[in-house]
Structure 1
Amino acid sequence: MNITIVAGARPNFMKIAPIIEAIQKKKNEGFNINYRLIHTGQHYDKNLSGTFFEELNIPLPDVNLEVKSGTQAEQTAAIMIGFEKELKQNPCDLVMVVGDVTSTMACTIVAKKAHIKVAHVEAGIRSGDMRMPEEVNRIVTDSLTDYFFTTSIHANKNLELLGVGQSKIFFVGNVMIDTLLKNENRLKQPTLWKELNLSNKKYLVMTLHRPSNVDEEKQLKELITQIVTLGKDYPIIFPVHPRTQKLLSELHLNFENLHYVTPLGYLEFNYLVKNALAVVTDSGGITEEATIMNVPCITLRDSTERPETCDIGTNILVGSDSEKITMVFKLLYSGTWKPGGIPELWDGHAAERIVNHLTHAFKL
C-alpha cells in the first residue's frame, strides 16, 4: 500500500508527524505500507514550516511544490497543477490530507479526478461560518472523501447529517494532541523569556491571523487596544503572522506591555502557552492545545469548529464583542475560570488508530 501524505501549512506538520511515525512502526512490523510526503509550499517561511520538520523529527518531504503566496484562487490552482504532475509521476493507492487548509481541498480534488481514494484526517468539523476560507475547504474536502477520521462526536454527527455512511466514519481522536503529548517534556524556553523578564502565569499570549480580525484597520486597532488595556501590567506576547505584520506596522500601536515577536517554533511557542496566565487567539488549533494544558483560552471568534474545547475544555468564545471581552478578563482575574477536562480519545494514540483502520481497510 502506497500512501501520499499532503502537508502545506503550519498546522499540517503537527498532524502528520505522529501519522508518519505510526506508518513506520507498521512497516517495521512487516506490513506492506509505504508513504511519500508532499509539501505543497503553501507556508514557505522557515518559522512557519521549516523548523517544524527539525523539531518534530519529521523526515524531509520527498518533494516541495513551492507554491508560496497568492490569492486563494492562485494558490489553489498552483497546488492542483503541481500535485497533478506529482501523482502522474508517482501513483499511489491513497492520498491522505489533514486539516482544512487550501492544500487539503486542492489535493483532494486532484486525487479524486485521478480516481484515487482520499483519507481526510480531522474530517467533519464545522464552524458554520462561510466567511472562513477553511469552512469552504472542509465542505469541499468532505464531499469527496472516502475515509473520514474524526476528532470528536460532534464531527461524527456533522458527517452523518450530510449522509455519510457510518462505515466510512472513524472516530480516532486528535493527532495534534498526539504530537503535543509526545513533546510536552521537550518544550523549550524561548530566548525572549529572559529578555522580557517573564515568569510563570504572569503574562498573556496573543495570536491573530483571521481576515475577520486583521484585515480591517479600525477593527484590529480597537481589538488590540482593548486587550492591551485589559491586560493591565501583564506582558502580552504577540507572535505576528507574516500577513498581519504590514498592517500592524501602519497602525503604530505602541504599548509598553505589548511585545511583537517573530513566529516561534513549535517547542518554544507551546512552552509560552503552557506557562501563560491565558491565551487570547482566533486559532482553532491553539484552543485544542490550551485545553490539554489546562490554560484559560479567550477566542476572538463568534463560532468554532471545535465546540468540545468550549463544552469540555478551557475555551470561551467572545468574538469581537467588547462587553464579552471585558467580562472574560474579569473572570480570569477573579480566579474562577471554568475547570477544563480532556475530550474523549485525546489520549496520544489517534495516529495509531488511523493507521490500524487503513491496514484493515486495505487488507494488509
Structure 2
Amino acid sequence: MTAHVLHITGARPNFPKAAPVLRALSKRGVPQKLVHTGQHYDERMSEVFFQELGLPRPDINLGVGSGTHGKQTAAIMVGVEELVTESRPAMIVVYGDVNSTVAAALVGSKLRIPLAHVEAGLRSFDMTMPEEVNRIVTDRLSDLLLATSADAIAHLGNEGVAAERIHLVGNPMIDTLLANIKRFDAAKARAEHGIEGRYIVATLHRPGNVDDPADARELVAAMHAVADQAQVVIPLHPRGRAGLAAAGLFTHPSVTVLDPLGYVEFLGLVRGADAVVTDSGGVQEETTILGVPCLTLRPNTERPVTITHGTNRLATRENLPGMVATCLAAGRPETWPVPPLWDGHAGERIADVVVGHLER
C-alpha cells in the first residue's frame, strides 16, 4: 500500500474526531497526509488542539479563513482540488458536517477519489441548518459511510444507501475524550475562572439563536433567568459574539463570558458543571459520557442517541429557566446509559474499514 490517505480537517469539531483515526491508521503503517483548511484559524479554535491531542502537524494548511458559506466553501474547494490533482491520494477522509467537509467531498467525487465520511448518517431533518445540507451532500457522495449510532444507519438505509457501504464504528470523538479524561480538572477550572458554588456552562453560536437580533434578545433574557439561579460561564464562539453583546448578555453579574477555551480546559469546566446549555452537536455527546445534564437549545438534534442513551434533553428559550431549575433540584445522575460502541475504540474500527477498502 503506497498511495496515501488524505485527511481533511478545518474546524474545531473535526480535530478530536480525526486524532484517533490518524493514530490507528499510523499503527497499521498506512501513509497519511493531514490537511488543515484553516476554516477555524485562531489558536483557541484550532492550534491548541494540535498541542493538546498529540495530532501530527498538518502537512498542508490552506489558510482559507472566515467568510460567507459560499466564499469559504469555494476557497476550500480550490485549495483541495489543487492538492488532490497533484498528489492523487488513495482515499480522502472527511469528518463531521462543516464547510471543509462538504467542500472536500465535492472535490473528491468529481476527481473520482474514494471518499470516507466519519460521522455519516446524522440527521436533524432541519434544512435551515447549513450543517444538515453539508451532511446530506457529503453522505450522498461518500463511498464509505462510517456511522456513530444505529439511528444514523437507519437514516442512510431509508435514503437508499447500499448496506455494504455503511459501517457502524462508534464515535471517535469519544475515543479522544476517554483518552484524556484524567486531564479534565474541574477544580482547576473553578480556580482559574473564579467560580464559587454551583455553575452552568453554556455554548451558543447557531444562527437560529444568535443571528437575528430578536432571537438574540430572547436568548439573553433566558440566560439571565438561568443566571438568577446559578453562575453561568460562557466560552463564547466568535460567531454571534457581537450580537449577543448588543443584546446585553454581558450585563448580568452572574454571567462570566470567556474567550474560546482549549479542549482540556473546556472539558474540565464541563466536567464540574451542574448542567450545560448548548446548541452544539459535539457537546451533547461529551456530556453524555461525562454524565452532565445537557439542555440543547434547539428544536431538534441530529444526535437523538444522546437523549435516548445519555443525559441530553431539548429545550426552548421559553422553558429553559424551568428546565435548569429542575436539573439543579435533581442533581447529577449517578448512572446513565451510554450508546453502544462509544467505548474508546472507534478509531481502530474505522482504520479496519479503511484498510479493508484500500486492500480490495
**TM norm structure 1:** 0.94
CA contact (8 A) 2:226 2:232 kept: no
Residue-pair matches, total:
356
Letter in 1 for 2:120: A
Q: Report SS of the residue matched to 1:10.
A: coil
CA drift at 1:192: 6.0
Letter in 1 for 2:285: E
Q: What is the aligned partner in structure 2 of residue 81 from structure 1? A: 78
CA drift at 1:26: 1.1
Aligned partners of 1:264 and 1:164: how far apart in 2? 38
Match 1:58 to one of 48, 55, 64:
55
CA drift at 1:195: 4.9
Q: Which runs of no fewer than 5 residues in structure 1 stay unpaired?
A: 28-32
CA contact (8 A) 1:331 1:337 kept: no
Q: What is the aligned partner in structure 1 of residue 44 from structure 2? A: 47
Aligned partners of 2:110 and 2:65: how far apart in 1? 24
Aligned partners of 1:8 and 1:164: how far apart in 2? 27
Q: What is the aligned partner in structure 2 of residue 225 from structure 1? A: 221
| 1:223-260: CA deviation from partner (whole Å, max 9, x where unpaired) | 22222223325211011111222223323330110011
Match 1:211 to one of 207, 211, 222:
207
CA contact (8 A) 1:190 1:268 kept: no
Greater mean alpha carbon deviation, residues 216-225 or residues 65-74 = 216-225
Letter in 1 for 2:354: L
Aligned partners of 1:360 and 1:195: how far apart in 2? 47
Q: Does 1:272 align with 2:269?
A: yes
CA gap of 1:313–1:229, structure 2 versus 1, over 3 A, is same
Q: What is the aligned partner in structure 2 of residue 165 from structure 1? A: 162
Greater mean alpha carbon deviation, residues 98-107 or residues 326-335 = 326-335
Letter in 2 for 1:237: V
Matching of residues 8-19 of structure 1 within 5 Å: 8-19=10-21
Aligned partners of 2:50 and 2:192: how far apart in 1? 27
Aligned partners of 2:189 and 2:351: how far apart in 1? 39
CA drift at 1:352: 0.1
Q: What is the aligned partner in structure 2 of residue 102 from structure 1? A: 99
Q: What is the aligned partner in structure 1 of residue 67 from structure 2? A: 70
CA contact (8 A) 1:206 1:238 kept: yes
Q: Which runs of no fewer than 5 residues in structure 2 stay unpaired?
A: none
Letter in 2 for 1:305: E
Letter in 1 for 2:226: L
Q: What is the aligned partner in structure 1 of residue 330 from structure 2? A: 335
Q: Does 1:132 align with 2:134?
A: no
| 1:41-98: CA deviation from partner (whole Å, max 9, x where unpaired) | 1001110000000000101100111110111000111000010001122111100001
CA contact (8 A) 1:233 1:257 kept: no
Matching of residues 157-196 of structure 1 within 5 Å: 157-188=154-185, 193-196=190-193
Matching of residues 194-343 of structure 1 within 5 Å: 194-199=191-196, 202-253=198-249, 254-320=251-317, 322=318, 324-335=319-330, 340-343=336-339
CA contact (8 A) 1:40 1:64 kept: yes
Q: Report SS of the residue matched to 1:42.
A: coil
CA contact (8 A) 2:216 2:243 kept: no
| 1:247-282: CA deviation from partner (whole Å, max 9, x where unpaired) | 233233301100110000000000011110000000
RMSD: 1.7
Aligned partners of 1:330 and 1:262: how far apart in 2? 26
Aligned partners of 2:105 and 2:222: how far apart in 1? 41
CA drift at 1:331: 1.8
CA contact (8 A) 2:310 2:337 kept: yes
Greater mean alpha carbon deviation, residues 296-305 or residues 334-343 = 334-343
Aligned partners of 1:231 and 1:246: how far apart in 2? 20
Letter in 2 for 1:107: A
CA drift at 1:196: 4.1
Q: What is the aligned partner in structure 2 of residue 30 from structure 1? A: none
CA drift at 1:325: 1.8
Aligned partners of 1:44 and 1:197: how far apart in 2? 28
CA drift at 1:165: 1.2
Letter in 1 for 2:99: T
Q: Report SS of the residue matched to 2:276.
A: strand
CA drift at 1:23: 1.1
CA contact (8 A) 2:210 2:240 kept: yes
Q: Does 1:354 align with 2:350?
A: yes
Write out the 4+ residue segments of structure 1 that deviate beyond 4 Å after TM superposition. 188-192, 336-339
CA gap of 1:327–1:299, structure 2 versus 1, over 3 A, is same
CA gap of 1:327–1:189, structure 2 versus 1, over 3 A, is closer
Aligned partners of 1:87 and 1:20: how far apart in 2? 19
Q: What is the aligned partner in structure 2 of residue 153 from structure 1? A: 150
